[in-house]
Structure 1
Amino acid sequence: MTAATALDADQAPGQAASLDAPQTPGQLTLPAPTGRYRVGTVDLHLRDSSRTDPWVPGQQRELMVSLWYPATHTSHYPAAQLPVSQQVLPGGVTLPTTAGHTGAPVDRRAGKLPVVLYSPGLHGSRAQSTALVQDLASRGYLVVTLDHTHDSSDVVFPDGRHEVNTMPPGSHSSHTIAIRAADTHFVINQLSRIAHGHNPDVEHKPLPHGLSKAVNINRIGMFGASLGGGAVPAAMHADSRIDAGANLDGQLFGSAIDKPLDRPFLLFSSEHHNRNSDRSWARFWRHLHGERLDLKLRGSGHNSFVDHQVLFPQAPGAFGLTPPQLEQILGTIDPNRSIEVQRTYLAAFFDKHLRHRHSDLLDGPSRHYPEVDFIR
């Protein structure tokens, strides 16, 4: 997780005014989850025997995913590291320990868990938005984060094998998005198998106790950041089981832009990006026939919608960034406030459409969150 993978490969840092940020080595942290439940997590190795890997001919498609969920008895289970290969950065800076506890039992008090899938930015990791993911889990969701093998920069499998980015130069984003949509469809099928008492893990790793009875396969949402957000409409067209989608600052590509979509959709953009400046968003907006929202987070940058928002300012040098570069990619918004706002609006959106819990927050501007503009 270096500046080279600052969400998308084509999002290079630029020079800007300095942010006051500590650069001393140490343990980085993520904001604690705000929901009522403690959090469990488990990594699963999945193999799609019906599909050849689109980037490496001759191989079956294999994916690593992480499941995050409300958990109990977490003190008996180890705290999980971020599912990335490099835990220690230059200067001895260590990536955060997550709020998740590996393999902890599902908390039955949370009842049936709506599912929310997450797709990261181009060449990004499924760990990229852990601050948002573990917060949703603490609020009673089963959140499933996907690594898109050979698109992600580095995916580590249980046997120690590293599968790196093998996408050919000049790969079309519409093709990449179609592959991600197929990955998502496959993962939903595996969740359905879990709900029916099966274990799809290739190594037959024990699933957390209570998981199969907790999966609510009839309530599914999806969100993503950057290209991952851009993949959500294609995934929704490829799989009608996805009831609601959210795109965090991702440009849209492919035929899904011009197909009617009658399910709820949230567009959430950075300061200088919305449908008034992105033709792909404007085209997509015209074809949305369910509830549609176009929100802008004032003071934010493209990288504000992933953990970079809170990690980069803690130790810019460890990520290969100078303080003057931070404002260009993260904007001027306070990092913790940025994550708080995103968590609040994502939860309100999925609560409404996966749990039928109405929130006035989605009706219009709020004095409690003046950073959020409704683009009408």
Structure 2
Amino acid sequence: MTKAQPSESRARRKRGLRAVAVCAALLTNLLITVLPAQAAPSRVPAAHPARMRLPVPTGRFHVGEVTLHLADTSRRDPWHPGKDDRELMVSVYYPTTRTADRPAAPYMLPRAAAHFDSVTANDYLGMDLPTGRADWAATVTHAAQGAPVAHGDRKRPVLLYSPGLGEPRTWGTTSAADLASRGYVVVTIDNTYESPEVQFPDGSLATMVTPDDPDAFIRKALTVRDADTSFVLDQLGWVNSGRNPDVDGRSLPHGLAGALDLSRVGMFGHSLGGTATATAMDADPRIRAGINMDGNLTHYDGTLMPVAERGLARPLLLMGKDGATDTGPGWAAFRAHTPGWTRQLRLRGAEHASFTDAEALLPQLDLPPGTLTRDIGTIAPATAVRTNEAYVSAFFDHWLRGTHDHLLDGPSPRYPAMEFVE
């Protein structure tokens, strides 16, 4: 395997944890527990915490949403062996045409929001966000809870979203809702004990485990995510056949059964979620196409991951931030070893978090300019959001729907911020 030179290795170690949303504070401050429902974390109040707005989806459909509580009874939880089953929470976004009398889905549930506000942004994501500045619980999405699935002559392609390590599944809501408005069914996955917090229907909160050895932790996390991804796909098969896999028996939206085309499955993710997209594609042939948003394909110790050493026979798009990055060696190896289609794009002026909801939400918090520049770069937020949406949708439209608008053929004057890397 290829080893980094000592100076490169030191630089990668310095940058690496931030690149997968793990910082030094995370090694000592994270919890290995499920918080009881009555023990909410403390929160420093602000005079007027902001109720933020997410970008409006650009497709022709309104968006519906439902959450599912899933349990894999075939394996114990790898992070918490005392639990007999591996339990996950996922959100399903889908096109709808009827939203009347349906409440807007919350961005975060109350206890998850309180935990995110009190520790997550600083200890997990490495962002310097004042506690109590944002009202995460009062922020709502553009998705209607439980709305019926829009009628269609054909089944709809399915996309899976994997968040970065230390990021909740909600951190990709903008992309998920926009793709659903374009006719996709999008499933965002919280990988329990890797997500900063996961609130279950009974009110309990599972928080992230402490990575004593970052390299071993990330290797294990990718193995767990591969298994979680395949399990979620299995459960979607149940949903499509008319069975309800929700542990708590909550109703599924009308029309969801039979609406999924599980022969057209794609996946995308940010940071470690982008890495997991590549490894899950390598492990599960049901995933036909994927997008890696700024996720390494080298291990924390600098060695290449197997998927970088042998490439993929199915299309994977690499979307990266601007400036210095530690994704280079793994991405270069992957491109050299991939026999089929692949592209590498660079979003000019972007930072690592520019591919997440941070790009749209942080500017609403009246933060110091230096904080915003460090976290989401110098690109205009609206430009970043719409450029990302255009290329993500063009990729999946081409590989899962067979349409081709030539956006991925080369630079476009419509989106000058997106650079093609040779």
Q: Does TM-score exceed 0.5, indicating one fold?
A: yes
SS in 2 for 1:52: coil
Alpha-carbon distance, 1:155 to partner: 0.4
Task: Indicate yes or no: 2:403 matched with 1:357.
Answer: yes
Residues 22-79 of structure 1: per-residue CA shift (max 9 Å, x gap): x974321111000000000000000000111111113111000000000132122110
Which residue in 2 is equivalent to 1:330? 376
What is the CA–CA distance in structure 2 between the aligned matches of 1:63 and 1:348, rounded to whole Å?
Answer: 30
Q: Does 2:63 align with 1:46? A: no
Equivalence for 2:356 = 306
Please point out which of 192, 205, 212 is paired with 1:162: 205
Give the alignment of 1:83-94 within 5 angstroms.
83-84=108-109, 85-86=112-113, 90-91=131-132, 93-94=134-135
Secondary structure of 2:363's counterpart equals helix
Which residue of structure 2 lines up, in the alignment, with residue 20 of structure 1? none
| Structure 2 counterpart of 1:268, from 319, 337, 342 | 319
Indicate the SS of the match to 1:213: coil
Pick the aligned partner of 1:150 from 157, 181, 193: 193
Match 1:62 to one of 54, 79, 87:
87
Deviation, 1:316, is: 4.7
User: Which stretch of the first structure deviates more once superposed, 105-114 or 328-337?
Assistant: 105-114
How many residues matched?
358
User: Deviation string for 1:60-111 (max 9, x for gaps)?
Assistant: 1100000000013212211000134216954563233101111100001374
| 2:48 counterpart of 1:30 | no
Report the equivalent of 1:283.
333
1:223 paired residue number: 268
1:370 is the counterpart of 2:396: no
**Counterpart AA for 1:142:** V
Tell me which of 103, 106, 109 is aligned to 1:81: 106
Equivalent residue of 1:212, what SS?
A: coil
* Percent pairwise identity: 44
Q: Give a deviation string over 1:226-252, Cα, whole Å, max 9, x none.
A: 110011111011110000010011112
Which of residues 243, 246, 250 is equivalent to 1:198?
243
In structure 2, what is the Cα distance between the partners aligned to 1:282 and 1:330?
24
- Structure 1 residue ranges (4+ consecutive) displaced by more than 4 angstroms after TM superposition: 4-7, 87-92
| 8 A Cα contact 1:40 1:101, kept in partner | yes
CA distance in 1, matches of 2:282, 2:141: 33
* Cα distance in 2 for residues equivalent to 1:168 and 1:299: 31
Residues 332-369 of structure 1: per-residue CA shift (max 9 Å, x gap): 00001100000000000000001001121111011111
Q: Unaligned regions of 5+ residues in structure 2, if any?
A: 1-16, 26-46, 118-130, 300-304
1:10 aligns with 2:23: yes
- TM-score normalised by the chain length of structure 1: 0.90
Mapped partners of 2:284, 2:210: distance in 1: 25
Distance 2:386 2:258 in 1: 31
Q: Give the aligned residue type for 1:86.
A: A
Q: Which has the higher contact order (CA 8 A, sep 6+)?
A: 1
Secondary structure of 2:152 counterpart: helix
- Describe the superposition over 1:307-344 as per-residue Cα deviations: whole angstroms up to 9, x where unpaired: 01111111055xxxx43222122110000110000000
Aligned-partner Cα distance in 1 for 2:268–2:366: 27
Does residue 244 in structure 1 map to residue 289 in structure 2? Answer: yes
| SS at 2:274 equivalent | helix
Instruction: Check whether the contact 1:119–1:146 (CA below 8 A) recurs between aligned residues.
Output: yes
**1:213 Cα shift?**
1.5
| Distance in 2 of aligned mates of 1:245 and 1:293 | 11
User: Secondary structure at 1:64's aligned position in 2?
Assistant: strand
The letter for the 1-side match of 2:258 is K
Normalising by structure 2, we get a TM-score of 0.81
2:339 equivalent to 1:255: no
Kept in 1, the 8 Å contact 2:20–2:295? The answer is no
How far apart, CA to CA, are the structure 2 residues paired with 1:178 and 1:150?
14
CA distance in 2 between counterparts of 1:93 and 1:303 reads 17
Structure 2 residue 177 is the aligned partner of structure 1 residue 134: yes
| Residue of structure 2 in register with 1:17 after alignment | none
Q: Is the 8 A contact 1:7 1:303 kept in 2?
A: no
Letter of the 1:64 counterpart: M
Does residue 1:346 correspond to 2:392, yes or no?
yes
User: How far 1:113 moved relative to its partner?
Assistant: 1.1
In the aligned structure 2, how far is the partner of 1:308 from the partner of 1:7? 15
1:143-196 Cα shifts (integer Å, max 9, x gaps): 000000011111011111111112432142222111111100000000111111
